[in-house]
Structure 1
Amino acid sequence: MNRVIVVGADGSAAATAAVEWAADDAARATARLCIVHAVDRSPYEIAKFSNPGPDDAVTLSAESVLADAERVARKRQPGIDITSELFQGAAATVLRGQAGHAGEIVIGGRGLGGFPGAVLGSVSTHVAGHAHGPVVVVRSNPDTAYGEIVIGLDDYHAGEPALAYAFEQALLRACTLRAVYAWQPPTHAHIPESAHDLGEIHDAQCRITAGILLGWRQQYPQVQVIEDVRRAHPVDALAGVSTQADLVVVGSQGRGAIGTVMLGSVTLGVLYQARSSVAVVRP
């Protein structure tokens, strides 16, 4: 794992929770924490704001945000290595650009730009949908611990980076790893559900699950794994177990070209419905 964890700070309560989460993860992984704040001057196309300088009001405010975030991180984990960086540009673009040298990007679920009552911000969905590698969207209190990491399984090789991240998190946290494989019976309008042998289908899904996890169990013998095969929609299954999870990890197979389509419908659904923090790991 790259030993740099990047966290976005904007002075909001959600971003403060993200800084605390990232500081804890940096301490566990012996990683350097880099706190990033982006100054987007495009809304202020007037002379007072559009000319960047060390003493202009926007820069001074941004430096204050970074200083406050660094204090939060040092108070949370006094022993970790912390740096901070101020960038010019849109927050989503700046954070996405950090993916190349970061082992993990951490962001709050909704920052200062979010709409009241919104469960997920546009920056969160953009970064999670476009940045390669783990992007953690912090949705829960870092001080609440259940001792369980959840990984959503599929039978595609592209899900392997998510599995690697989930096992590593479980190892670092000394947590149980719950591997959730959700399946639904074939749906055909002219064939009644009773015509399918649901027990046989379930057994087949259990065998698939065991096969996916076999090599990972051997690689991480210290991690206790629960194989949780459910007849449910994947979003419903993962959202259901998220209430007692420290983190839900999902891969993303989305291949769309624009916006949140890159996330895939299941990943986006989990981001919106999960009660815990969510890590999206794009291959």
Structure 2
Amino acid sequence: MSSKTIRHQHPAYRDDIGDLVTRRPVPGPAVEQIDPFLFLNHHGPQTYGRNNRGLPFGPHPHRGFETVTFILEGSLAHRDSGGHESVIHAGGVQWMTAGSGLVHAEVSPQSFLESGGPLEILQLWVNLPSRLKMTPPRYVGLQKEAIPALPLDDGKGVVNLIAGEWHGSRGPFESLTGVFMSTIALAAGGQVSFDGVRDRNVFLYVVRGAIRIAGEAARQHHLIELNEDGDSVDIEADSDAFLLFGHAQPIGEPVVAHGPFVMNTREEIQQAVRDYTNGKFGAMG
């Protein structure tokens, strides 16, 4: 079995949203997407004081893709036009299929606005193929306790299994397109390998720490683009590290994005704008 190797390391560029520290590795100057992974925002880490304004993501629409949100520190209140509502705390994940169209808001709960505290959140956009872009919207939010935390054999790390299968366990989220998704915590010297990645695109973002991929150093706050060859991804931590790791079959279709809409053609984008303007995405309760 051969290991995938590093093709390029894409730095996450600062693009703060008000007082919210934000880094974005994709899309970037040298990478538009790692098909089907379209977009990643890394908010924080930072600490909010008492009586803060919290997260700024009031009601806004989406169509044509999915959002996967990882709450690393703090908490996140979600509401959408499909009637879903939740508050997810540190270690939890929410997976929203925008599909044919949804309006949602992601803000800080009242308790966080009043008391403040640490905050760190990742949001990943995952594309849908044309046959699924108009699928009915859905939402699942799960707390940390519902996500399998699988210890590594060497005792130096944990794989938090979000979607897909690994070592006989299955993640609680069911991807429409067979996406594997996880977060990984490694202590210095910890090692982990993932096989079954030939002909699949790997998404690997180093949230913190320093690691090696097939022996080559990979840096913090970088999206690590891997070469297509190889059957496995072999990771070793040089320091304590935390990673976002997923892989998926590439879709291989045209991508036309306009703000919160991701479709295959310009005409479909124009239709999405009309449908949203005409209230076809529903309204927040």
**Smaller-chain TM-score range?**
under 0.3
TM-score (norm 2): 0.24
TM-score (norm 1): 0.24
Structure 1 or 2, whichever has the larger Rg, is 1
* Greater percentage in strand: 2
